[in-house]
Amino acid sequence: MSNPFSKKEIISLPQRNRRKVNKSYISEDENEEEENKHIFNGDNNTSDHMDDHINDYVDDHINDYVDDHINDYVDEHINDYVDDHISKDIYNKFSNKTYEYKYLDHTADIILHSSGKNLRECFESICICMFDYMCNLNSVELKKRRKITVSGANIEDLLFNFLTEFHFLYGSEYFICKHIEIVYFNMNLFLIEAYGYGDIFNISIHESGTEIKAVTKHELKIISNKDACEIFVLVDI
């Protein structure tokens, strides 16, 4: 049977038109590849952009980091630094300083009694009176310093908190104060800031006395006038 179509009559089908690729339709993967090419090829604009972000990050966070850590560093190291650098000026400062105090008998415990020209002197003396009862202060050197800040609802409460805070230094680290310096005394706010100078108790160096277990508010009394002041504090031994 003969072919109904001659070779000349065979007409080929037209090729399908190839879809033109529009750059706006590049896939995400292809887009990332393009961006990576710029980065790995050392695109100056990209590098500058990254540098700007790094600098902004450093500027935003470095100050916060320093602020958060500098106070911790100071708290940890200031006492050690002061302990190593207490100068002769401190010894000279307290060389002529005296405290007026004595001990009064009580049925089971002991009463601390101090006197002075004003409340500041009385507060300092009653604190030294407490430490001298627990340790002979003649053998204590001024090797270390501690700072306290206390407040109270009234003058009696302030005195109790003042003595309790210094007594806590002995209970927590056996710190013995030979000298007390109240640097801020506000009777309106009932607020005190003070430094204690002394050393850590060492039985091979220091002569121990009788340990005071606690400061009490029982029979606590403050007598103050323009010319003189007296303080009485009962302590538990």
> What's the first-to-final CA gap in the chain, in angstroms?
135
Q: 103-236 maps to which CATH number? A: 3.55.10.10
pLDDT at 17: 45
Whether pTM exceeds 0.85: no
Q: Which residue has the tokens 């029979």?
A: 219
Tens-place pLDDT, residues 1-15: 555 544 444 444 444
pLDDT at 198: 94
pLDDT at 28: 53
Helix axes 119-134, 155-173, angle to 10 degrees: 30
Low-confidence stretches of the chain (pLDDT beneath 50): 5-26, 38-40
Residue spans of the domains in the chain: they are 103-236
Question: Which residue stretches of 86-141 are H helix?
Answer: 88-94, 119-134
pLDDT at 29: 54
Tokens at residue 78, please?
């200031």
- What lies within 8 Å, CB to CB, of 101 at 6+ separation is 112, 113, 114, 115, 125, 126, 128, 129, 132
Determine the Cα–Cα distance for residues 233 and 195; give it in Å rounded to an integer.
21
pLDDT at 135: 95
Tokens at residue 164, please?
């309790």
How many CA atoms within 13 Å lie on the side-chain side of 28? 0
Tokens at residue 165, please?
């805070």
- Give the single-character DSSP code of 7: G
